[in-house]
Amino acid sequence: MKIDIDHAEIALIISALKDAPSLKPILTKLETIMATQKELADALTTANAALTAIATEVDKVGTETDTLNAAINNLTAIISAGGATTPEVDAALAALQTSVDSITAKVKAVDEKVPDSPVTP
């Protein structure tokens, strides 16, 4: 059986019964439980807001990585169409691709740490 009583109703009951000596220990514990529940709800809300902000940043990094990959592919096509390149250009392009691969792997690792959908209790 579940009883739906919100924090305001508990406060009203407590104020009405606060002078009953036999109920005082129970009411004190109830106040503590309700305060703890409120603190927990606030902490969960804060954590959810932080995860939402992180998700936004990860989405941004993903979009920027896609843009960078497209630019590299475009540069690679231009270089290939232009014929032979100097070793310096080849090395710079390889270094750029290595950086993109590294960033992509890091974003994937972070993404795998966070569930794709909200966890429901």
State how far the Cα of 66 lies from the Cα of 54, in Å rounded to an integer. 18
Grade residue 78 by pLDDT with cuts at 50, 70 and 90.
confident
| In contact, 11 and 30? CB cutoff 8 Å | no
Backbone φ and ψ for 48, nearest 5 degrees, come out as: -65, -40
For residue 45, is it within any domain? yes
Model pLDDT, residue 17: 67
What is the pTM for the complete model shown? 0.46
What would the mean pLDDT of 77-86 be, rounded to a whole number?
A: 81
Q: Is the pLDDT of residue 99 over 80?
A: yes
State how far the Cα of 26 lies from the Cα of 48, in Å rounded to an integer. 33
Model pLDDT, residue 97: 87
Model pLDDT, residue 111: 78
Give the range of the structural domain holding residue 109, as residue numbers without chain letter.
7-113
What would the mean pLDDT of 56-63 be, rounded to a whole number?
A: 85
Number of domains into which the chain is organized: 1
Q: Is the pLDDT of residue 119 over 70?
A: no
For residue 1, is it within any domain? no
For residue 59, is it within any domain? yes
For residue 118, is it within any domain? no
The share of the chain scoring above pLDDT 90, in percent, equals 0
